[in-house]
Structure formats: C-alpha cells, structure tokens
C-alpha cells in the first residue's frame, strides 16, 4: 500500500525515509495520481468491484482517468481477452466464480496499463487448478515486461520464477536477493519463522541440516529435487500405511439431492458414509457442492430428495438446535459464530446452551479449555480482537467445550493462516480424533489432505467422483484433473524418483516422514 501512496495518504502513520515509484516520491503525490503507474489487486476483489457488469467494471478505472470512451472500449476488450473472459463481458459480477472474480480483478487492473502490478494474496481461496491458472497469467504478464510485486504465502510456483525475493518479519527486511540466494543463506531462518516453503526446498534444507547433500545446492523445483535426490537410499522399515478406520456408521447418505432453486441442482445424488473416528476431507473445485453438503450435515439445509441418516435418525427429524449438540461446524470466518463480548463468556455460552448451568462446573470447564488452547491470557479479550489463529481455535473450542459433540466439521482450516498456526490447529484436530471425535475437513489444501486424512471424498459438479484414501486419489490423474485438484509437490518428487529408478517406500505423505526415511545420499 506504500507503493501506490495509500500509506501515508489514507491510512496515515508516520513515514520515515523515501519511497520512489517510477520517479515519483510517493509522499509527495496523491493516491489517485499513482494509479497511472501502480495497479493494485486485493485479496478479496469482490469488495473492490464498483459496478454490476463485467465490462463496466473493467472500464471503471480508465473512465476515472478521463480516457476517451472509444479508447476505453478497445482497452476493455483487450484486457478481457487477455484473461480469457471476453465472452462473459455482459455478465453480472456477483454471478462469477472465485477464479473468474480474480481474473476480472486482474483485467480491471490491466485496463489502466500500469507499469507495476501489486498483487496481495491473489489466490488465497481458490481451488488448486484455478490457482495454477491465475499463476500462469501472472507469469505471462511478467514475460511481457511488466513488473509484478506479489505478496504471498504460497511460494510453490514462484520460487523458481521470481527474480527478486524479499523476506519480511515483524516489519523488517530480513533478507533479499534472488530466491536461490535467499534460500541458500537464510533457508533455516525461513523454516523457523513458519514460512510455507515449497516441498522440494524444505526437503533440501532439512536434509542439509542433517548433514546430507554436502556439495549440492538446495532444489527449488520438483525437477531439481529429483535430480539432487536421485541416488538417495531409504531406510528398510518405512512408516506403515494408514489402516482404514472401521467404526460405527454415524452418517449415512444415499442418493442425496439438493437445489437452491428449482432449476439448478447443487447436489445431484450423493451417497457416502461417515464412520466414528475418521478424519475425512471433502475436496473439489469452488462451487462443487462442498459447502452445501456441510450445511446439510449440521441441519441448516435439508435434502430435497434421497436418504440422509445422522446418528440413527433421519435428517428431516432433526432440528438445528438439537443437532448442534452432536455436530460442530467451524465456519470459514469464525467471527460469524461469536455471540459474546469476551472469550470467557463465549465458552460459557456454549456450555449453557448444552444445559450445563452450574457456575462452578462452567468455570472449571472454561478454564480447562482456555488452558488447552493456550489463550488463558486472553480470557477477557473481545473475540473479535484475537489474532487470526486464536479466533480459529476459539471457533473450534466453542463448538467442543460442551464435550458432547461427536462430529466436527471444519471449513477450510488453512484459510488466512500461516504454517505454524495450521500445524497447531491440525494438532488440536488430531488430539480430538484420538478422543474419538470424527472430523470432516473441507479444504483446497492438498498437503493437508495427504498428510492428515484417512479418506477423501471428491466432489465435482454436485456429484461424488471419488471416495477413498488420499494415496489412491493421487494415483488417479483423471480424477485429480476433473476435480481441479493438483498432486502435491512431494508426491511428484516421489513419482519422479521412482521413474528415475530409485526405490522409494510407500506412505511418505509428509515432508517429515520423507526426511525421516532417508538413510544416506
């Protein structure tokens, strides 16, 4: 925001030193005037749209800059063609999918022909294949000579492509240079900071820390990793495969259908079982019916036809309030669930809702939960002012503090969280499972699916197209493609090594187990 003058002009604050963009001192020129040089794309472009129609939205910027109408019309067509959305130009902006919204945001920026484009987490909530498509678009722009500044946690595709990388921590520049030099010199610091590094890089760094890969450089792509690790030897006794969980059936769905309107069906005939003690992931592209399914499982929606049985009772006989005792849903935005003014009250509310009203008992349980979440200090804080990670964990806690929930549904656990926070959340979820709670995760994060899940249910266009362990999912390229998923970089490294003739044991689904299984190089 400093780059286009929003800081200091709009957000205020004191600025020391000088920022010069395209020859202009930012503190001396107005935000609007910087619009010619710098284009900015925010994380959630839905809120940046000022109009209703796709073509009007692209024209909005150039109109503000007083360009003649004819020129703008040509420019709008060019920009929309560039992102491949010209056929949608008469559409309404809120009828677009997540990926289309991002592309429209990019087209709107492009129409102003800025020399520098700043992108703030442009793919934070997109499915893996759409993320890839947006990344390709960004790289194409760079190839055409534009300067791209990308703020991101998702380094996978950019590590090998970026020209310059700046590592920030607590407001200071820790390191900068080419990605390769930053990784080589500061890689271990990045690991310690909890930066999500691409799997090839993380494996390289960890092996190096253990004294392997002495004279080799740290790989930053899958191909490099395969080349570097080719003569690796693995230990004889690799970690075993996960056993399928065979517990009591909690949820039984048979040919479940649902549509928000009469014409379009969001779910068309889905059947599955959820068993006691499982961790199940529901994956698939944006709009495949995942959220609809989760709302159905907490009783907010009822199937329009088909048979859905939950805890031995038909879905139609449950009401939301009663079901809330057995099923807990943590929304993507945990703030939506908060009802009280302090963290303590929030937890107490959940206990009261389950009929636990003895003040001593309530106090005891709340205290135990606060300790478990490591937020005892924040007991009197307003839930809205917690950090993103604590909000998420409080969201889980309000759902579980009563101790009666048997099924926990988490919508996109990694959204807006860095690696360390995600790991803490997953640790919490794993502990819950150990206590016998069944967990359903809805996610786009393939690493998470591969690392933590017993079973993945893949949705595409309202139908279930796969139901089985992640290992089998990632061995079915056609399903991965149909559901807009991507195979994790770790899987691709393992596949590459096997293709090169290296013996790789099965079950290496996380970097930890991969590194632990390495015997010598």
113 φψ region: left (φ > 0), alpha (ψ -120 to 50), beta (else): left
Q: Which is nearer to another protein, 260 or 520 (CB)?
A: 260
In angstroms, how far is the first alpha carbon of the chain from the final one?
Answer: 46
What span, in angstroms and rounded, lies between the C-alpha atoms of 176 and 164? 7
Q: Which is nearer to another protein, 399 or 446 (CB)?
A: 399
Q: Which is nearer to another protein, 45 or 219 (CB)?
A: 45
Q: Which is nearer to another protein, 6 or 149 (CB)?
A: 6
Give the sheet arrangement for strand 267-275, strand by strand.
Answer: 267-275, 249-258, 305-310, 313-314
Least gap, CB of 18 to another protein (angstroms): 20
Q: Which is nearer to another protein, 351 or 446 (CB)?
A: 351
Least gap, CB of 399 to another protein (angstroms): 8
CB atoms near residue 304 (< 10 Å): 14
Q: Are 35 and 4 in contact (CB under 8 A)?
A: yes
Contacts of 239 (CB under 8 A, 6+ apart): 507, 508, 513, 516, 517
Q: Which is nearer to another protein, 30 or 498 (CB)?
A: 30
Least gap, CB of 1 to another protein (angstroms): 7
Least gap, CB of 479 to another protein (angstroms): 26
Strands (E), 146-188: 147-151, 165-169, 172-177
CB atoms near residue 399 (< 10 Å): 20
- Determine the distance from the C-alpha atom of residue 31 to the mean position of all C-alpha atoms in its chain, rounded to a whole number: 31
Q: Which is nearer to another protein, 56 or 154 (CB)?
A: 56
Least gap, CB of 224 to another protein (angstroms): 38
What span, in angstroms and rounded, lies between the C-alpha atoms of 320 and 301? 9
DSSP string, 389-449: HHHHHHHHHHHHTTS---EEEEE-TTTT--HHHHHHHHHHHHHHHHTT-EEEEE-S-HHHH
Least gap, CB of 323 to another protein (angstroms): 8
Least gap, CB of 64 to another protein (angstroms): 4
């Amino acid at each position: 925001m400093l780059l286009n003058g929003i800081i200091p002009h709009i957000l205020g604050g004191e600025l020391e030193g000088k920022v010069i963009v395209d020859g202009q001192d930012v503190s001396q020129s107005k935000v609007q005037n910087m619009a010619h040089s710098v284009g900015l794309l925010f994380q959630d472009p839905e809120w940046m749209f000022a109009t209703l129609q796709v073509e009007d939205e692209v024209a909005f910027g150039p109109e503000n800059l007083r360009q003649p109408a004819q020129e703008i019309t040509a420019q709008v067509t060019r920009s929309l063609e560039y992102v491949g959305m010209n056929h949608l130009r008469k559409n309404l902006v809120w009828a677009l999918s997540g990926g289309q919204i991002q592309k429209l945001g990019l087209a709107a920026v492009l129409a102003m022909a800025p020399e520098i484009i700043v992108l703030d987490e442009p793919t934070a909530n997109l499915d893996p294949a759409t993320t890839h498509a947006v990344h390709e678009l960004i790289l194409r722009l760079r190839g055409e000579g534009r300067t791209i500044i990308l703020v991101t946690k998702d380094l996978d595709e950019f590590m090998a492509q970026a020209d310059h990388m700046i590592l920030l921590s607590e407001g200071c520049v820790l390191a900068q240079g080419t990605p390769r030099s930053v990784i080589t010199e500061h890689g271990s610091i990045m690991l310690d900071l909890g930066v999500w590094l691409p799997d090839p890089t993380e494996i390289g760094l960890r092996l190096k820390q253990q004294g392997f890969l002495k004279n080799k450089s740290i790989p930053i792509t899958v191909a490099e990793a395969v080349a570097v690790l080719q003569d690796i030897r693995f230990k004889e006794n690799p970690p075993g495969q996960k056993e399928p969980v065979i517990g009591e059936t909690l949820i039984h769905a048979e040919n479940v259908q649902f549509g928000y309107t009469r014409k379009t069906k969001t779910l068309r005939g889905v059947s599955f079982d959820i068993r006691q003690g499982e961790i199940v992931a529901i994956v698939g592209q944006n709009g495949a019916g995942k959220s609809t399914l989760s709302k159905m499982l907490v009783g907010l929606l009822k199937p329009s036809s088909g048979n859905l049985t939950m805890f031995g009772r038909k879905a139609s006989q449950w009401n939301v309030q009663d079901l809330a005792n057995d099923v807990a849903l943590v929304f993507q935005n945990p703030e939506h669930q908060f009802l009280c003014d302090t963290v303590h009250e929030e937890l107490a509310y959940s206990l009261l809702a389950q009929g636990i009203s003895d003040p001593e008992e309530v106090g005891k349980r709340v205290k135990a939960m606060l300790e478990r979440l490591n937020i005892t200090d924040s007991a009197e804080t307003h839930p809205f002012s917690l950090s993103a990670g604590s909000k998420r964990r409080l969201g889980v806690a309000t759902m579980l503090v009563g101790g009666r929930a048997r099924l926990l549904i988490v919508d996109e656990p990694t959204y807006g969280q860095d690696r360390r926070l995600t790991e803490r959340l997953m640790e919490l979820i794993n502990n819950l499972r150990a206590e016998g709670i069944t967990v359903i995760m809805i996610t786009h994060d393939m690493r998470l699916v591969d690392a933590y899940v017993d079973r993945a249910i893949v949705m595409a266009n309202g139908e279930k197209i796969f139901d089985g362990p992640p290992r089998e999912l990632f061995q079915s390229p056609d399903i991965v493609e149909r559901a807009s998923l991507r195979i994790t970089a770790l899987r691709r490294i393992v596949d590459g090594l096997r293709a090169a003739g290296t013996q790789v044991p099965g079950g290496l689904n996380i970097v930890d187990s991969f590194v632990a299984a390495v015997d010598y190089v």
